[in-house]
Structure 1
Amino acid sequence: MAEQPIFEALSPHEAMRAAIAVLRSVQPQIAGMSDAETVSFAPLAEELGRLTDGVRVRTAGEIDARSDRMLDERLSAQHGCRNGIELLER
């Protein structure tokens, strides 16, 4: 079955907010799943975790790249930070 790009028309921010809302509604339902549903759900949760980790790493890398000391308009400096790491920590 091909995956449908349900968030395609949304901006990245809107898509992430929508995904968060969906996950918040799913989480309480896990306890009510059957054993078979729970076992088949686990790989989906793992895939989601890997994708989420990838988004986090990609975003952190982008912030770090845009905060490079060689740039005139460093992203970190625009937010009062010394570097990308400090910006991410805040």
Structure 2
Amino acid sequence: MLSINIDEKQVRELLKAKIAEFLKEADAEYVFWDASELKRRTCMSWNFIQEQFFFDPRFSKRKVGSKWYFPAKETREFLGKWLLEQPK
């Protein structure tokens, strides 16, 4: 008869590491975000985004035709800094 012992703690750690790796890879696939992706990632409405940081000169954006695009890496970095600047 075959007996298998599983260390649940180790399995959880392995799963966390794999999930983090997967999320990092999935996130790296985006070079640009469009307005829909920006709204989804920030959980903010378009009006709120415009009121809060859209016109901040540090916020990198480009309009191509009628659509706005935001470089994913720079946008993520800006949003992190912007959030820390907000009053508590």
Range class of TM-score, shorter chain: 0.3 to 0.5
TM-score normalized with structure 1 length: 0.33
TM-score normalized with structure 2 length: 0.34
Greater Cα radius of gyration, structure 1 or 2: 2
Between Structure 1 and Structure 2, the one with more strand by share is 2
